[in-house]
Copies of this chain bind each other. A is one copy, B any other.
Amino acid sequence: MDKGKTKHNTEQQILEAARTVFIRKGLDGARMQEIADEAGINKALLHYYFRSKEKLFNHIFENALADIFEIINQSIHEEGDVYVFIETFVDHYLTILKKNPFIPNFIFNEINSHPERIGLFSRKIKLNIPGFIRMTEQNIAQKKMISMPPEHLIIDLLGMCVFPYVAKPLLEDVFFRDHPAGADNFLYERKQHIIYFFKKALQPKQ
């Protein structure tokens, strides 16, 4: 086994384990021992690769945020139909949320408890908001949708998609205590609901 490959593998294992643990427990709740166990290695190795808990955490946080921003940016085409945008956005976003249901809560929690962290990353990772605004304003100008501030629209979309995942344990208790399959069914239906809901809300009055 050559050095480079071994290093790469272990580093990768550590990052995956750290991701799992940090996302579930947050920076404060996570334990280096738990990450080591999850990675199947020794605690000391974590420090060998990443010096400190906080440095390791920063890797995970930055990547999590970059992944989300990337997905959102992929849906944005500056020229195009807003309803097409909404369909692809909701589809893509709900798909990664289904695969990573705890990421939003992880991100929101960390930016609320350590807001100073944001500035650090916002230089490297950017949401393509100008593109989204241009697209929205074009559609408004073409009378394809009613007039509204683009900022509200993107927040509406994000909130409608992400909220059920952030509040999931509460929803499961409140709505689906007696029929546990209900929650998954609900999330499955939700994609069509959201798309329909926005079309209805945005269509110009006839």
Q: Which residues of B contact A115 (CB under 8 A)?
A: 169
Cross-interface CB contact of A173 among B119, B155, B197, cutoff 8 Å:
B119
Q: Chain A 147-184, CB within 8 Å of chain B: the 1/0 string? A: 01101100110111011101111110111010000000
Size bin of chain A's contact surface: 35 or more
Q: Is the interface of A mostly helix, strand, loop or mixed?
A: helix
Interface pair B113/A167, CB less than 8 Å apart: no
Q: Which residues of B contact A170 (CB under 8 A)?
A: 107-108, 111, 118
A167-B108 contact, Cβ under 8 Å, with A173-B119, A174-B127: yes
Interface pair B159/A122, CB less than 8 Å apart: no
Q: Which residues of B contact A193 (CB under 8 A)?
A: 148-149, 152
Q: Chain A 117-138, CB within 8 Å of chain B: the 1/0 string? A: 0110010000101000000000
